[in-house]
Amino acid sequence: MAIALATKNVNEGLGGPFGAVIVRDGEVLAAEANSVTRTNDPTAHAEVNAIRAACAKLQSFQLEGCDVYTSCEPCPMCLAALYWSRCRTVFYGNTAKDAAEAGFDDSFLYDEIRLPAAQRSMPAEQMLSEEAIASFEAWRTSAQRIDY
């Protein structure tokens, strides 16, 4: 189903060749394709779209007990999103290497994220660390916080 969504997305000119389906107890909670270019959203990968749709359906920010079927091994953004969602298992068709051969940056991003920050191609710089810690101090003592 995820593969069919991916191919249909290309054939209809709606976005990249990626689809994802989220299932719990045999029920399909979400079935989404990539919509980066159609919705002007670089985060709108199939897995992210499916996580958002499944969470909206469940009215929950976690997907415990859910399995994710995706047409391609998740990129680092989607893999981390899947961890944050607390889903159970990921099943995938194509690999990150297949995606790279089709022109996508998945393998490059895995290499970048494995590097120490100072060696990555995107510059990142720490600033105002003494001021920034105040946000976490507020969090630690907040009476109304909802952990996630």
List, by residue number, the catalytic residues.
47
The helix or strand, by DSSP H or E, that contains position 98, with its residue range, turns out to be: helix 96-101
Q: Given the complex with a copy of itself, which of 26 and 103 has the nearer CB atom?
A: 103
Task: Compute the least distance from the CB of residue 139 to a copy of itself, in Å.
Answer: 4
Amino acid (one-letter) located at 125: E
Task: Compute the least distance from the CB of residue 27 to a copy of itself, in Å.
Answer: 18
Q: Given the complex with a copy of itself, which of 27 and 33 has the nearer CB atom?
A: 33
Spatial separation of the C-alpha atoms in residues 132 and 105, rounded to whole Å:
32
Q: Count the alpha carbons within 13 Å of 44 in the hemisphere toward its beta carbon.
A: 14
Q: Tell how strand 67-72 and strand 89-94 pair up.
A: parallel
CB 27 within 8 A of CB 33: no
Task: Compute the least distance from the CB of residue 20 to a copy of itself, in Å.
Answer: 12
